[in-house]
Structure 1
Amino acid sequence: MNARVLAGTGHANAGRAANGSAAKGAARAGLTARGVIYLLVGVLALQIAFGTGSRQADRSGALAELADKPFGAVLLWALGAGLVGMALWRLSEALFGVTGKDGRTARKRLPAAARCVFYAFVAYSVLAFAAGAGGGGSSDRQSRDVTARAMEMPAGRWLVGAAGAAIVVAGVVIGVQAARRTFHKKMKLGGLGPRVRRLVDVTGVAGGAARGLVFAGAGAFALRAAVEYEPDRAKGMDDTLRSFADTPLGPWLLVGVAAGLVLFGVFSFTLARWRRV
Structure 2
Amino acid sequence: MGGTTGRAAGAAGRAGDSDSLEHLARVGLVAYGVVHLVLAWLAVQLAWGGGDDDPADQSGAFAQLAEQPLGRPLLWLLAVGLMALAAWQAAEVLRWRGRLSSSGEARKQAVEKTGKAVAKAVLYAVLAVLAVRAATGGGGSGGGQQQVGGVFGWPGGRWLVGLVGLAVVGVGAYLVHKGLSRRFLEEIDLRDASARTTRLVTRLGQAGFPAKGVALGVVGGLLVHAAVTFDPARAGGLDGALRTVLEAPFGQVLLTLVAVGIAAFGAYCLVRARYPERT
The separation in 2 between residues aligned to 1:102 and 1:26, in whole angstroms, is 30
Q: Are 2:162 and 2:224, in contact at CA under 8 Å, matched by a contact in 1?
A: yes
Instruction: Name the CA distance, whole Å, in 2 between partners of 1:195 and 1:18.
Output: 29
| Number of the residue aligned with 2:58 | 59
The residue number in structure 2 matching 1:110 is: 115
Per the alignment, in what secondary structure is the counterpart of residue 274 of structure 2? helix
Residue deviations 1:114-149 (CA, integer Å, cap 9, x gap): 321222122112112212222524xxx1x2122112
Structure 1 residues 187 and 19, CA gap change in structure 2 (3 angstroms): closer
Of 45, 48, 59 in structure 2, the residue corresponding to residue 47 of structure 1 is 45
Q: Is the 8 A contact 2:226 2:233 kept in 1?
A: yes
8 A Cα contact 1:76 1:130, kept in partner? yes
* Per-residue deviation, residues 72-110 of structure 1 (Å, max 9, x unmatched): 121111111111111111111111239xx9597233113
In 2: Cα distance, 1:57 partner to 1:178 partner: 23
- Pairwise CA distance, 1:271: 1.3
Question: CA separation of 1:167/1:209 partners in 2, compared to 1, >3 Å: closer, same or farther?
Answer: same
Question: 2:207 is paired with a residue of what secondary structure?
Answer: helix
Give the C-alpha shift of residue 186 in structure 1. 1.1
**Residues 1:190 and 1:145: Cα distance change in structure 2 (over 3 Å):** same
Contact 2:60 2:140 in 1 (8 A): no
- Residue identity opposite 1:276 in structure 2: E
Contact 2:42 2:51 (C-alpha < 8 Å) held by counterparts: yes
Q: Is the CA contact (8 Å cut-off) linking 2:15 and 2:91 kept in structure 1?
A: no
Q: 1:249 matched to which residue of 2? A: 250
State yes or no: 1:230 paired with 2:235: no
Match of 2:18, SS state, is helix
How big is each residue's C-alpha offset from its partner over 1:135-180, in whole Å with a ceiling of 9 and x where there is no partner? Answer: 524xxx1x21221122111221111111111110110011001111
Please list every run of 5 or more consecutive structure 2 residues that lacks an aligned counterpart in the other structure: 1-9, 98-104
Q: Is the 8 A contact 1:90 1:115 kept in 2?
A: yes
Following the alignment from structure 1 to structure 2, what is the Cα–Cα distance between the partners of residues 173 and 106? 16
Does the 8 Å contact 1:164/1:220 carry over to 2? yes
Q: 1:20 aligns with which of 15, 18, 21?
A: 18
Distance 1:117 1:18, change over 3 A: closer
| 2:77 matches 1:78 | yes
Amino acid at match of 2:242: L
Q: Which residue of 2 aligns with 1:162?
A: 163
- Displaced runs of 4+ in structure 1, greater than 3 A? 15-19, 101-104
Aligned to 1:9: none
What root-mean-square deviation, in Å, do the aligned CA atoms of Structure 1 and Structure 2 show?
2.2
Q: What is the Cα deviation at residue 16 of structure 1?
A: 3.2
* CA 1:32–1:102: 2 relative to 1, 3 Å: farther
Q: Deviations over 1:7-40 (max 9, x none)?
A: xxxxx99x93895223312321221111010000
Supply the distance in 1 between the matched residues of 2:187 and 2:112 (Cα, whole angstroms): 17
Contact kept in structure 1, 2:33 and 2:266, CA below 8 Å: yes
The answer for the alignment partner of 2:174 in structure 1 is 173
Alignment partner, residue 6 of structure 2: none
Q: Which amino acid aligns with 1:198?
A: R
Question: 1:145 corresponds to which letter in structure 2?
Answer: Q
Q: Identify if the C-alpha distance between structure 1 residues 33 and 270 changes in structure 2 by more than 3 Å, giving closer, same or farther.
A: same
The amino acid across from 2:173 in the alignment is V
SS of residue matched to 2:273: helix
Q: How does 1:92-131 map to 2 (within 5 A)?
A: 92-97=91-96, 102=106, 105-131=110-136
| Percent of pairs with identical residues | 36
Structure 2 vs 1, CA of residues 35 and 218 (structure 1 numbering), >3 Å: closer, same or farther? same
Secondary structure of the 1:188 match is coil
Q: 1:259 to 1:155 in 2, by over 3 A?
A: same
With normalisation by structure 1, the TM-score equals 0.87
Larger Rg: 1
Name the CA distance, whole Å, in 2 between partners of 1:16 and 1:94.
Answer: 13
